[in-house]
Homo-oligomer: A and B are copies of this chain.
Amino acid sequence: MSPNWTTPAAAALRADGLRVADLDTSATPGFTGDKAAGQQLLAERTVVLSALQEKLYANGRSGDHRNVLLVLQGMDTAGKGGIVRHVIGSVDPQGVDHASFGVPTPEEQRHHYLWRIRKALPRGGQLGVFDRSHYEDVLVVRVHDLVPPAEWEPRYDEINEFERELVAEGTTIVKVAMFVSLDEQKKRLRERLQRPEKYWKFNPSDIDERAFWPQYQAAYQAMLDRTSTERAPWHVIPSDRKWYSRLAVTELLIDALTALDLHWPAAQFDVAEQLKRLETA
């Protein structure tokens, strides 16, 4: 571990007991280095991540059903897209299963909220990425009363049950909640409005949502309190500093992959015999 990590990311970022309202979104928990040190380390660590991911993929191709699912949640501009681009972008696309979950389509709305999620679950050997997820159904849905409380209230338990099932099937779930401050969000939205090449990332409703900030904080708090479990804990990432959030998620993924104790799959054939066959083929 880099000496700049005084506490491993997985420990420093655990959601347990954390109060969202008290979070310093500009902090860099567990990491004492500055931006330059963080960026330098990120470049090194994505190489490690990529090597581990190749092993996961190799095992998947050899019949191992295990996989890793990164669940990204966060308010607009928190940097979910940047994680995909800069962290997931460092590994082989063959082993990545990326899905993003926006406003449900009419077809999706006719189904249970987990229907579209189940369809997008990663196969064995894949690194799945959910850009937003089933947690939207206890976040935006709760904040805007899209369904009555009697309907969203049981979802926390249901989600825990669902994730228990995934873990039992061999999925390692890495849940990441990214938080920026209201001020940092304003800065990032302003940038989208000041640079024509970023207009497409902006939606006027992003501004409307700012009025619901306290309600979102409460919904995130409830999500952390009720769905951070031993088997699928939440990690809370202060995300005002993009370099930190990218480094932190990289470390969490490295951690998850390392815990799988992956080895190169053994040959399912007689190597010497195949080498001999090859020479005359």
Contacts and interface: CB of A to CB of B under 8 A. Distances in A.
Interface in A174-233: 186, 189-190, 193-194, 196-197, 199-204, 207, 210-211
Interface residues of A, number: 47
Nearest to A58: B200
A24 interface: no
Nearest to A89: B93
A275 interface: yes
Contacts of A9: none
A274 B200 CA distance: 14
Chain copies in complex: 2
A202 B84 contact: no
Contacts of A271: 193, 199
A266 interface: yes
A21 interface: no
B281 A200 contact: no
Interface string A240-281: 000000000000000000000000111111010011011101
A104 interface: no
Nearest to A271: B193
Interface stretch (A94-102, A105-113, A141-149, A151-159): A94-102
B274 A202 contact: yes
A132 B51 CA distance: 25
Interface string A78-95: 000100110011011110
Contacts of A137: none
Interface of A: 58-59, 61-62, 81, 84-85, 88-89, 91-94, 96, 98, 100, 129, 131, 186, 189-190, 193-194, 196-197, 199-204, 207, 210-211, 264-269, 271, 274-275, 277-279, 281
